[in-house]
Amino acid sequence: MEDFKFTGKEWWREGVRFECTGSGKCCTSHGEFGFVYLNLEDRQRFAKYFNLSTSAFTRKYCEKTGGIWHLKEDPKNPDCMFLKNGNRCGTYEARPTQCRTWPFWPEVMNAKSWAKDVKAFCPGVGRGEIIPAERIEKQLREQIESEKGWGK
Q: Which helix or strand (DSSP H or E) is residue 145 part of?
A: helix 133-147
Contact 140, 4 (CB under 8 A): yes
Instruction: Tell me the pLDDT tens digit for each residue of 77-129.
Output: 778 999 998 889 999 999 999 999 999 999 999 999 999 889 988 999 999 99
For residue 118, the SS3 value is helix
75 by Cβ neighbours in 10 Å (0-12 / 13-18 / 19+) ranks as: exposed
Out of 7-11, 51-55, 67-71, least confident range = 7-11
State the helix-helix crossing angle for 54-61 and 40-50, rounded to 10 degrees: 100
Contact 74, 61 (CB under 8 A): no
Going by pLDDT thresholds of 50, 70 and 90, the confidence category of residue 29 is: confident
State what percent of residues in the chain have pLDDT above 70: 95
pLDDT at position 4: 65
pLDDT at position 1: 45
Q: Looking at the predicted structure, is the pLDDT value of residue 14 above 60?
A: yes
In one-letter notation, the amino acid at residue 101 is T
Q: Where are the domains of the chain?
A: 24-147
Q: Cβ contacts of residue 49 below 8 Å, gap of 6+?
A: 91, 93, 94
Q: Looking at the predicted structure, is the pLDDT value of residue 132 above 90?
A: yes
Instruction: Tell me the pLDDT tens digit for each residue of 35-50.
Output: 899 999 999 999 999 9
Q: Cβ contacts of residue 129 below 8 Å, gap of 6+?
A: 17, 18, 19
